[in-house]
């Protein structure tokens, strides 16, 4: 079954990809990714386009790129995503995979977006405990670096750290999601069992951006620079 992965370059979409690759019923066609025009970075995660291209090369899977403007309206987003879905359908894609774990509103949005397209959404990590997903990811020897943290939810010291057992031990799990499903953090996977080679990087400058609703400084990005 020809399948596209909804891909951010982060840990959950990468783990969903890996699980699909273990099932011979699926043929992974491409990685669908949203990027922001003018910045040349993955939307929300803030990862450089060059690093995304290296992920694609190491995974051996081509990208399907959806470029959106900064401050993209929902109407423009829907228009460009509908074009991407139409292209997938023309290419014979039958299924699209997402790495969502438990956010019902996000799942419903994706299902509504794909309704009537002939492409079925699938959620291989759905309803697993976040502790299990975290242990599985680390246990498979995936390596990911934290690229963005929500300062309203977790401490800035988590930015730039590798997601490993030490990270989990330090994380405030009593009231925060260890998989970051509520937007606590975003990440970039640089190595794993389905990577042909690890992606080399170094950390650059930090930048804090505001919450557009309250206008207070909220999101801390740390630049991940390809070596």
Per DSSP (E only), the strands in 39-197 are 41-42, 63-68, 95-97, 120-122, 143-150, 185-191
pLDDT digits (tens, 9 = 90+) for 168-210: 999 986 778 999 999 999 999 999 999 999 999 999 999 999 8
Could you tell me the strand order of the sheet in which 143-150 lies? 185-191, 143-150, 217-226, 201-210
pLDDT at position 214 over 90: no
| Percent of the chain whose pLDDT exceeds 70 | 99
pLDDT digits (tens, 9 = 90+) for 124-165: 999 999 999 999 999 999 999 999 999 999 999 999 999 999
DSSP state of 86: H
Dist. CA 14–CA 144, nearest whole Å: 10
Q: pTM for this structure?
A: 0.95
Dist. CA 155–CA 123, nearest whole Å: 30
pLDDT at 175: 75
CB 44 within 8 A of CB 212: no
pLDDT at 71: 84
Q: List the domains of the chain with CATH numbers.
A: 2-122 (3.40.50.620), 130-226 (3.90.1490)
Q: Tell me the backbone φ, ψ of residue 185, rounded to 5 degrees.
A: -155, 165
Dist. CA 177–CA 130, nearest whole Å: 7
pLDDT at 210: 84
pLDDT at position 70 over 90: no
Q: What angle do CA 145, 189, 60 make, to 5 degrees?
A: 160
Within 91-163, residue ranges assigned H as helices are 104-114, 130-139
pLDDT at position 102 over 90: yes
pLDDT at 173: 67
Q: If you average pLDDT over residues 31-36, what whole number do you get? A: 96
Per DSSP (E only), the strands in 37-117 are 41-42, 63-68, 95-97
């Amino acid at each position: 079954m020809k399948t596209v992965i909804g891909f951010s370059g982060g840990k959950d979409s990468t783990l969903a990809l890996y699980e699909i690759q273990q099932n011979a019923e699926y043929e992974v066609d491409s990685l669908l990714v949203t990027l922001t025009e003018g910045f040349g970075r993955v939307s929300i995660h803030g990862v450089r386009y060059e690093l995304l291209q290296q992920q694609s090369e190491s995974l051996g899977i081509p990208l399907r790129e959806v470029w959106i403007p900064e401050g993209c309206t929902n109407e423009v987003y829907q228009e460009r995503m509908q074009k991407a879905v139409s292209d997938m359908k023309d290419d014979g894609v039958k299924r699209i995979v997402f790495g969502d774990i438990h956010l019902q509103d996000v799942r419903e949005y994706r299902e509504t977006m794909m309704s009537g397209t002939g492409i079925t959404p699938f959620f291989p990590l759905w309803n697993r405990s976040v502790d299990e997903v975290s242990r599985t990811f680390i246990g498979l020897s995936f390596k990911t670096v934290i690229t963005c943290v929500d300062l309203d939810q977790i401490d800035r010291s988590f930015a730039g750290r590798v997601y490993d057992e030490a990270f989990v031990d330090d994380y405030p799990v009593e009231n925060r999601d260890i998989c970051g499903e509520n937007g606590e953090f975003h990440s970039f996977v640089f190595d794993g069992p389905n990577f042909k080679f690890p992606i080399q990087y170094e950390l650059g400058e930090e930048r804090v951006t505001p919450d557009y609703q309250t206008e207070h400084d909220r999101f801390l990005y740390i630049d991940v620079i390809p070596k």
